[in-house]
Amino acid sequence: MEVLREVLIKKFTQAIREGNAGIFAGAGLSRASGYVDWKNLLRPLAKNVKLDIEKEKDYLSVAQYCRNESGSRGSINQEILNAFNAEVGENENVEIIARLPISTYWTTNYDKLIEKELEKQNRKVDVKMDSDQLSTTLANRDAVVYKMHGDVDHPAKAVLTKDDYVLYDNKRPLFRTILKGDLISKKLLFIGFSFEDPNLDYILGQIHALLDENVAEHYCFFRRVQESDYDDDKDYGYEKARQELRAKDLARYGIQTVFVDDYPEITDILRDIESAVKRNNVLISGSADDYAGWGRDKAEELAGKISEALVKNNFKITSGFGLGIGSSVINGALTEIYRNKYKHTDEYLCLRPFPQGIKDATERQKVFTQYRKDMISDTGVAIFLFGNKKDPTDSSKIINAPGCREEFSVARDNKNIIIPIGSTGFMAKEIFDEVKANMDDYKYLEKYMDALETENNVDKLVEIVIAIVKE
């Protein structure tokens, strides 16, 4: 059954937020980096046994024939080593899925693309390629990668031939058990997967037999059969009908198909998913030594109520604990967390107080800039209010906070949704004026600009902020 792109983005993003999402990667994901797929891996082996790989559909049998003819796995092992130790290029799809806050990755690939990219993202990876590894857990892991068909470093154990599949339950019995659990309890997104794998067919069939139609919902990508791919209209019609039937059949197992006309669309969808995930994380930026016409109590009420309302609407707040604002942000968030969110503080509040005690001004600025970039990189919305501090050279003077300005610049470069509450004055007003002068870049604020500039009613401002982030 076909599912719309927008539905996939919405539902999979929600699964990520709830911690119930996983990725299942097939050979198509690695092919964009320059690795071969199953067919091209077997091409030289097929030639050795006088088979034309272009005429073959049953690649399992081809691999088995090669094994039978050679009398050992040596040639197969060598081909795996040659194919998956080659230098490859960057792969944006792999980069995105590694950045997503997902902890479960399944793959039938032998290469190390996923685990290496996770490590680049400073995530501690627990790789499982043998059954005996499944009984142990790497301490403080951020993600687990299940390589259910083995790894390039151990080609003799790679699953490739008919015999390997027949003996799978003897050699890797727990992989199927764990995958069954994830297929039942999580939403998996299949990327680069053809669904020709006998292992997955077997597992899906068992789950369907146990749960009937009460299976979890998963998603996969298929490139739509294109008329331009065929010289004969009958061939095109046949393959189109076959693909539609395949999609309907996958729906029996809860796997919904998202059709794309070309593979770059998959990258676009993954980007949209990442953006949607980030937009659930909201930075509240601001500081105050002077509350001007607001007064301290009203200013703290505004910061607290914005924070409380965001948590109530299931957004996660990031705060640098700005002077005069940070405590109210925390108090507002905790009020709602303890009232209705089962005390799940980490799910709704991320505190990032700045490092202290760096005496050298140049070094301090360098550290603070990097710290701000790291803090904002995982957010998708930035709210600015007040933004002032005492002049370091004259404590009797109040200046607009340069740190707040820098956070705006970083958030803008990060393509965050920007919400400057100009009516609070100071740096927030300066940011508001810049946004107003460049409205083509901030069209989502058009109907709210007058209120953001002049409104000083706390409840009305909270209502506006929530309306913007929800849109």
Dihedral over Cα of 58, 63, 64, 66: its sign: positive
- Contacts (Cβ under 8 Å, ≥6 apart) of 286: 303, 322, 325, 383, 384, 385, 386, 387, 401, 404, 424, 427, 428
Which residue in 383, 396, 391, 392 sits closest to 424, CA to CA?
383
Q: How far is CA 471 from CA 114, 417, 465, in A?
A: 33, 10, 10
Q: Among candidates 145, 81, 140, which has minimal Cα distance to 113?
A: 145
**How is residue 261 written in tokens?**
């006309």
Measured between alpha carbons, how far is 258 from 2 in angstroms, rounded to an integer?
6
Q: Give the closest residue to 445 by CA, choosing from 414, 422, 411.
A: 422
Chain center to CA of 308? 26
User: Nearest 5°: CA angle at 6, between 435 and 465?
Assistant: 35
Q: Which helix (H) or strand (E) holds 316?
A: strand 316-319
Record the tokens describing residue 457, joined without a space. Answer: 């009613």
154 in active site: no
- For residue 309 the two structure tokens come to 């309302």
Q: 149, 154, 208, 218: which one is catalytic?
A: 149
Quickly list H helices, 186-263.
198-211, 233-251
Q: Evaluate whether 165 touches 60 at the Cβ level (below 8 Å).
A: yes
Cβ-based neighbours of 438, under 8 Å, separated by 6 or more: none
Q: Which two tokens stand for residue 104?
A: 């479960």
Question: Which stretch of DSSP H or E encloses residue 347?
Answer: helix 345-348
The answer to whether residues 295 and 356 touch, using CB atoms and an 8 Å cutoff, is no
For the annotated catalytic residues, the residue numbers are 149
